[in-house]
Structure 1
Amino acid sequence: LHVTSNETIGGTRFPELPSVDVPLVSDMSSDFLSREIDWGSHDLVYGGAQKNLGPAGLAIVVVRKDRLSSHGRSLSPYLDYATHDSNDSMANTPPMFAIYVMGKVLRWMKDEGGLPAFEQRAAKRASMLYDTIDESNGWYSCPVEETSRSHMNIVFRLPDEDLEKRFVIEAAAAGMVNLKGHRSVGGIRASVYNALPLASVETLVDFMAEFRSTNS
C-alpha cells in the first residue's frame, strides 16, 4: 500500500498511518521530520528534501533490508535500491551541496531540541491558524475535516474569489508571499514548514484578523 502522509494541495494528512497486512510505503516529502514515524510499521519511507530538510535535488529513502531484493522484478541497476545500498548511496556522483545543506539543517534541528520540539512547533503553528479560521464565524473556512487537517499546509477560503485575490495582494504588500492556493483548487494556502518561525505565523494571524475586520 502506497500512501502520502501529507498532501500539500488539499491540505490533508494521515493523523495516524494505516495498519495493514501488506507492505506499507509512505511518501513523506512534505512532513518528514515534523512528527514521529512508526518505523516498525513501514517497509519503505521516502521523500524529497526540499520541504523540511534542504534544497531540491536530494531524496531520502529508508527501506527495510529484507525488502531490498524482494520486488521480484527485473530493474535497471540504478533503479534498484539494492544498488545504492551496496554502494553506500554513491552509485553515482551524489549532490554534494544538497547533502551539505541537509547536514547543517539536521544539526540545527538537533540543537533546537530534535524531533519532539519540531513536532510541538508544527502543532502550535497549525493550531494558531486553524483557531483563527474556526473562530471567524465562517468568514474564513477550511474545507478539510478537523481530524485530517495538515500541520504543514493550511488551506482556507474567503467569502468570494475577489476577496481572496485582494487577500493575496495585500498580504504580499505586507511581506507575506506565496499564499495563493494551488491553481487546481484556488483559495489560500499557508505552507508552514519546519524552518518557519512562530513569529511569522503570528504576523499572518494578525493580518487575517485585520483583513476580516476591514472587509466584513
Structure 2
Amino acid sequence: MKEVFKLIVSSFANLRSKFSNKMNTYIGRSYILNTYTLELVARVKLCCVMLDLQCDALLCEMFKIFLKTIDDLHLGHVFYAMMKIMTLVLEESDDIPPKMLSLLLHYVRKDSKVPPRSRRLAEKVLFICARKLKTVLTEAVKSSAVPLDKYSKIVASICKSSDIKEKTEPGALLYSNSKDVLRLPLDDSSVNAATSSENEEKTSVQALPATDGTK
C-alpha cells in the first residue's frame, strides 16, 4: 500500500505541464490526470490512511511538492485541493513532524524568496489549523532561531494569542485580542469562500482541449 502512495505523491510533482497562452493555465492529459488524482485524494481523505500507516516522511514530501509546485497558473480548484489535504494531515496528526512545520515556516518567512502563491498556501494552512498548531508552532519558531517578526503576521498571531477559542462558530473571531482580526473558516464552504475572496477560486476546468494531436 505504501508503494501506491509513493506513486501518487510522485505524480503531484507533475502538476506543471504544457502551458497554454490562450487559456493562461496548464493543459495536457498528464496534467488533467494528476489534477484528478489530487482532487480525489482530497475528497476521499486518502491522506488520513497515510497517517494511519505512519507515512510521515512521505507526507512531508507531499507538503514540499505542494508548496514548491503551486503557482499563479494553477486554477483555484488545485490550490483548494492542496490546502484541504494539508489541513487534514495537520488536524488529524497526533504528533506533527517537525520537518512539516519547518517547511510551512520557511514559506512564510518575510526574507525568503518564495513565490507569492506558495506563501499564500502556507499562510492559509496555518490560519485554518491555528488552534491545533499554537503550541507546536511556538516551539518550532523558537527552535528555528529566527525572530518572530521575520515571519508572516499569521505566525505572530497564532504564537502570541493566549485566548484562541476552543469552540468557534463559523465566521466568529479567531483572536479577540489580535490587532489583525482574523476569521476562522470551519468548514469546506467557508474555506472555499475565503479562497474566492482573493480571486483564487476560478472556474474549474471540466475538459481541456488536447494540443498534442491526441484526442
Give the TM-score normalised by the residue count of structure 2. Answer: 0.32
Larger radius of gyration between Structure 1 and Structure 2: 1
Say which structure is richer in strand. 1
